[in-house]
Structure 1
Amino acid sequence: MATRVVAVDVGSVRTNFAWAGLDLPGRRPVGEGGRHPEGAALAVLEAINASVPVALGFEAPLMVPVSPVGPVDGWMTLGRARQGETIDGRSRPWSAGAGSGALATGLVQLAWVLDRIGAAAPRLRCTTRPDPWTAGQAELFVWEAFVSGDGKPVPSGISQHAADAAAAADTFADRLEQATLSTSDVVCTPSSSFNLAAAAAAYAGLAIASNELRGQVQVYRTRPGVLPR
Structure 2
Amino acid sequence: MRVVGVDIGSVKSPSKFAWAVVDSPERTVLSCGDDPEGAVQALVQSLAEHGSAVLAVEAPMAVPVPEPDSDEWRWLGRARTGEGNRPWSAGAGAGALATGLAQTAWMLARLHTLAPRATATTQSQRFTAGEANLLLTEAFVSGTGKPVPVTTGQHAADAEAAARATLTYLTDGSNGFPLVECAPRRPLNLLALLAGWADIPVPRDELHLDVLVIRTQAGPRVAP
TM-score by length of 1: 0.91
Aligned to 2:28: 28
Choose which of 78, 95, 101 in structure 2 pairs with 1:101: 95
Aligned to 1:177: 171
Aligned to 2:120: 126
Aligned to 2:141: 147
Q: Closer, same or farther in 2 for the Cα pair 1:121/1:226, shift >3 Å?
A: farther
1:206 pairs with 2:205: no
- CA shift digits 1:151-177 (9 cap, x unpaired): 111113121000011111111122123
Task: Give the % identical residues.
Answer: 47
Q: Closer, same or farther in 2 for the Cα pair 1:27/1:79, shift >3 Å?
A: same
Q: Closer, same or farther in 2 for the Cα pair 1:169/1:108, shift >3 Å?
A: same
Aligned to 2:61: 62
Contact 1:8 1:59 in 2 (8 A): yes
Give the AA of the match of 1:48. Answer: L
Aligned to 1:116: 110
Q: SS of the counterpart of 1:30?
A: strand
Q: Give the alignment's Cα RMSD to 1 decimal.
A: 1.7
Moved over 3 A (4+): 226-229
Question: What are structure 2's unaligned runs of at least 5 residues?
Answer: none
Contact 1:123 1:205 in 2 (8 A): no
Aligned to 1:157: 151
Give the AA of the match of 1:205. Answer: D
Contact 1:20 1:165 in 2 (8 A): yes
- CA shift digits 1:86-140 (9 cap, x unpaired): 1xxxx33211121110000011111110101011122421000000111122110
Matches within 5 A, 1:76-91: 76-86=74-84, 91=85
Give the AA of the match of 2:185. Answer: S
Contact 1:170 1:226 in 2 (8 A): no
